[in-house]
């Protein structure tokens, strides 16, 4: 595996190197995948959003000059937008099609399946509370608390001061404590899955 930093890899990818882009994918796919799960509470949707995020990154590679040492904060912001756009599309379809029947329950074939279902249920409860937060607080929480992006990198991606990011995270945590009450739902990320 290469020790090249993301900026160098991005520059080579922008020049047409699929191999350099592949290294960026290998380096950041797991973090983007888990970020998408935390925004959707669905492993299958996270897989779709991961692919969409990197396809969009590939298409924009010649128009974007990577300013940070890591491409991850930018990729997480792209993933957030991909998820948001998918939700808008789904809402439009739902309005047009009426009620969509619920997915049938997943059969319990193994402990892993049960764990996945439990993760999705708990994440859905948490996500429902998070969606009640203002957008800026949701984005700061998802980047800094769930995906481990530094406050400085999150500030650069969100285009605000680092202190504002810290304040948004603090307010989000406080509001979530109030919204969740005594429910046994962790604020920190649930288990992450290897692809």
Instruction: State residue 173's pLDDT score.
Output: 87
pLDDT in tens, 138-148: 999 989 988 88
Q: State yes or no: pLDDT of 95 exceeds 80.
A: no
Q: Return all residues near 145 (Cβ < 8 A) that are at least 6 apart.
A: 169, 172, 173, 187, 188, 189
Q: Is the pTM of this model over 0.75?
A: no
Sequence-separated (6 or more) residues with CB below 8 Å from residue 184? none
Q: Looking at the domain that runs over 6-180, which CATH code has it been given?
A: 1.10.1740.10
At residue 4, the pLDDT reads 87
The pLDDT assigned to 176 comes to 85
Percent of the chain with pLDDT over 90: 45
Q: Which of 34-38, 94-98, 110-114 has the highest mean pLDDT?
A: 34-38
**For range 26-45, the mean pLDDT:** 94
- CA–CA gap between residue 38 and residue 41 (Å, rounded): 6
Strands (E), 7-131: none
Mean pLDDT score across all residues of the chain: 84
Structure confidence by residue, pLDDT tens digits, 103-140 = 777 555 666 766 777 778 888 888 888 889 999 999 99
What is residue 181's DSSP assignment? T
Q: Who contacts 188 (Cβ-Cβ below 8 Å, separation ≥6)?
A: 145, 146
Is it the case that residue 21 has pLDDT exceeding 90?
Answer: yes
């Amino acid at each position: 595996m290469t020790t090249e930093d993301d900026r160098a890899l991005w520059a080579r990818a922008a020049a047409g190197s699929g191999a350099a882009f592949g290294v960026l994918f290998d380096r950041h796919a797991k973090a983007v995948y888990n970020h998408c799960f935390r925004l959707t509470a669905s492993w299958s949707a996270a897989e779709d959003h991961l692919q969409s995020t990197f396809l969009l990154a590939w298409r924009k590679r010649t128009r974007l000059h990577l300013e940070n040492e890591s491409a991850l904060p930018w990729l997480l912001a792209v993933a957030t937008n991909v998820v948001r756009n998918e939700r808008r599309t789904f809402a439009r379809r739902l309005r047009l099609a009426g009620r969509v029947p619920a997915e049938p329950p997943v059969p319990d074939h193994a402990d892993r399946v049960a764990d996945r279902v439990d993760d999705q249920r708990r994440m859905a409860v948490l996500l429902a509370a998070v969606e009640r937060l203002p957008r800026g607080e949701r984005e700061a929480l998802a980047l800094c608390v769930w995906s481990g992006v530094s406050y400085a990198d999150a500030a650069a991606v969100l285009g605000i001061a680092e202190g504002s990011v810290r304040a948004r995270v603090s307010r989000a945590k406080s509001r979530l404590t109030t919204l969740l009450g005594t429910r046994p739902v962790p604020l920190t990320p649930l288990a992450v899955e290897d692809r």
